[in-house]
A and B are shown apart, each in its own frame.
Chain A
Amino acid sequence: GAGVSQTPSNKVTEKGKYVELRCDPISGHTALYWYRQSLGQGPEFLIYFQGTGAADDSGLPNDRFFAVRPEGSVSTLKIQRTERGDSAVYLCASSLSQSSGRTGELFFGEGSRLTVL
């Protein structure tokens, strides 16, 4: 497809379980971002990849959260020992990188809604 694809669209899990959320960015976009959106709030930055490397992971809330992008395309957000407070919509976005160092327009996927019971 032409847009950012995220799977699963919905995930319900029990407290303490491990969860993986997948993001397939727009082809050719080297920059990839994960954001988290709680109900009634704006998205909150988690991590930014430029190619295969995490250029900035300062938004990850704690060491239970980890993300990878091994081949510079698809990314997986991994959450260990899930807690009820992790319940949110996890949004992935991608963009072209610009020579100026700025990133271009962010294109968001529809998100993965995580519910931790």
Chain B
Amino acid sequence: QQQVKQSPQSLIVQKGGISIINCAYENTAFDYFPWYQQFPGKGPALLIAIRPDVSEKKEGRFTISFNKSAKQFSLHIMDSQPGDSATYFCAASKGNYQLIWGAGTKLIIKP
């Protein structure tokens, strides 16, 4: 009930392409779904987040799509750049602080 399942584990995308990472959750009480970006040796940094009252949120090249009935959400990175190469984590929580994290996706953007 508390798990967040993330796929794929790793992803290689050509520069300029679209990177898509998927997550699925089980607990219908979750109401906050952030995506974090983590570079090697650094802490995670919030990229974009969504609440279940909307189906999509876009910030620059980053878009979250949210499907409440399927209990799934995804991150789309448009026009992927080499600087986007990092590990991406989805997470979920009910209201506040106790984020439940996915296992991460290592994204490599090939020049």
| Chains A and B come from one and the same complex | yes
A40 touches B101 (CB 8 A): no
> How far apart sit A103 and B98, CA to CA, in the bound complex (Å)?
10
Is there a chain A Cβ closer than 8 Å to B91's Cβ?
yes
State how many angstroms separate the Cβ of B68 from the closest Cβ of chain A: 19
Give the number of chain A interface residues (Cβ < 8 Å). Answer: 26
> What are the 6 tightest A-B residue pairs by CB atom distance, in nearest-first order?
A42-B101, A108-B43, A48-B97, A103-B97, A45-B98, A42-B89
Is there a chain B Cβ closer than 8 Å to A26's Cβ?
no
> How far apart sit A105 and B47, CA to CA, in the bound complex (Å)?
10
User: Contacts A48-B98, A102-B95: A42 and B43 contacting too (C-beta < 8 A)?
Assistant: no
A42 touches B91 (CB 8 A): yes
State how many angstroms separate the Cβ of B7 from the closest Cβ of chain A: 13
> How far apart sit A36 and B12, CA to CA, in the bound complex (Å)?
27
The residues of B that contact A102 with a CB separation of less than 8 Å are 32, 95-96
A42 touches B103 (CB 8 A): yes
